[in-house]
Structure 1
């Protein structure tokens, strides 16, 4: 997971440089919105895959997966935007808490 976070930090630096003319709070908000956009694209691809769209696009599971990965990347970037110094630690804590093993450990305390 460290390699992913290393890449997220590099990508964040590139994105922050591109948005240097915007206030930090706006960059955070825009990145959080990007998570929703990417998730929406995954849903659109799923609808197309199931023939539930009127746009005429043919979709497959690879497109759904591509858009899901886009949503994950956007979410990790958003975490880094919100708290660059401790995004990794916060992610690990929340991930642990949200897993079954984490919930069981929390109940035992």
Structure 2
């Protein structure tokens, strides 16, 4: 898991540098919007897979998975925008709490 967070922190730094001309609050909002965009792409692929769209594209479970992973990465990238120092600890705490529900 450390490698995942190391990669997220590096990518977050690259993204933050690219948006350095924008205020922090706008960067946060844009990154959270990216999570919604990626999740929407997964839903679009699922609709295509189930022939529920008229876009004319064939979709596969692989594409759905690709878009879901994109949503997860976007969500992880949003964490350091909100709390650059404590993102990993916050994630661990919330993940622990949410995976222990009902036990």
TM-score greater than 0.5 by the shorter chain: yes
2:30 match: 30
RMSD: 1.0
2:9 match: 9
Per-residue Cα deviation, 1:64-101 (whole angstroms, up to 9, x for no partner): 000000000000000111011011110011011111xx
Give the structure-2-normalised TM-score.
Answer: 0.96
Q: CA deviation at 1:103?
A: 2.6
Larger radius of gyration: 1
Distance, in Å, in 2 between the alignment partners of 1:64 and 1:80 is: 26
Per-residue Cα deviation, 1:17-40 (whole angstroms, up to 9, x for no partner): 110100011000000000000000
**How many correspondences in the alignment?**
103
Secondary structure in 2 aligned to 1:5? helix
Q: Which runs of 5+ in 2 are unaligned?
A: none
Structure 1 residues 104 and 47: alpha-carbon distance in aligned structure 2, compared to 1, 3 A threshold: closer
2:101 match: 103
Give the structure-1-normalised TM-score.
Answer: 0.91
Distance, in Å, in 2 between the alignment partners of 1:51 and 1:80 is: 37
1:55 match: 55
